[in-house]
Amino acid sequence: MPLVKSKSPEAFRKNVKAEVKAGAPVKQAVAIAYSVKRAAAAPKGKK
């Protein structure tokens, strides 16, 4: 199941739950969820 690409708290919680359910350790699941949240909050301008 793909992760939710959003910076909302609900999306963060869903992403952590999805990763833990997939078998990732809790610390790693939180790190992945923060990474997705950070990517969703990044500005999408020119590089």
Q: Cα 33–39–40 angle (5° rounding)?
A: 90
pLDDT attached to residue 47: 64
pLDDT attached to residue 5: 95
**Residue 45 pLDDT class (50, 70, 90 cuts):** confident
pTM for this model (two decimals): 0.87
Nearest to 7 by CA among 32, 31, 44, 39: 39
How many CB atoms are located within 10 Å of the residue 39 CB?
Answer: 10
Q: Which residues contact 33 (CB under 8 A, 6 or more apart)?
A: 3, 12, 15, 16, 19
> Which pLDDT tens digit goes with each residue over 13-38?
999 999 999 999 999 999 999 999 99
